[in-house]
Amino acid sequence: QVQVVESGGGLVQAGGSLRLSCTTSGLTFGHYAMGWFRQAPGKEREGISCIKWSGSATVYADSVKGRFTISRDNAKNTLYLQMNSLKPEDTAMYYCAAGAMWSALPCRPSSYNYWGQGTQVTVSA
């Protein structure tokens, strides 16, 4: 059974930082592209950053480019998202997901197969 578990969310003031982590079990982590997605109340889930299975390629949404950094440690089956210069508009539930992709790196929710339950990030003004 595949499990995806996010951690590291919380309440932070604008301008602050948080580091999200995501661990998986039940799948070969190094064989999957991984992504971070978020969903704010009343909005659709959006892809904010994705990383290739090898870590050799990453993509970022324009809204987080230059502030967020995605990384992975395949030896530890762990995905990270370093979030700096947080803004109130970053407030959302953040999800981690795994996608069975080798070459392409789409960063849309429909391309990912396994999802975590999410971790809440709240940025106060």
Instruction: Calculate ∠ Cα 7-12-13, nearest 5°.
Output: 160
Burial of residue 76 (number of CB atoms within 10 Å: 0-12, 13-18, 19+): exposed
| Phi and psi based region of residue 8 (left: phi greater than 0; alpha: psi -120 to 50; beta: remaining) | left
Backbone phi, then psi, for 69, in 5-degree steps?
-135, 125
Please list the ranges in the chain whose pLDDT falls under 50. Answer: none
Q: What is the mean pLDDT of the chain?
A: 97
pLDDT tens readout for residues 76-91: 999 999 999 999 999 9
- Give the sign of the dihedral formed by CA 103, CA 95, CA 22, CA 15: positive
Q: How many CB atoms lie within 10 A of CB 86?
A: 22
End-to-end CA separation in angstroms for the chain: 40
Residue 35: what pLDDT?
98
Q: Which amino acid is at 83?
A: M
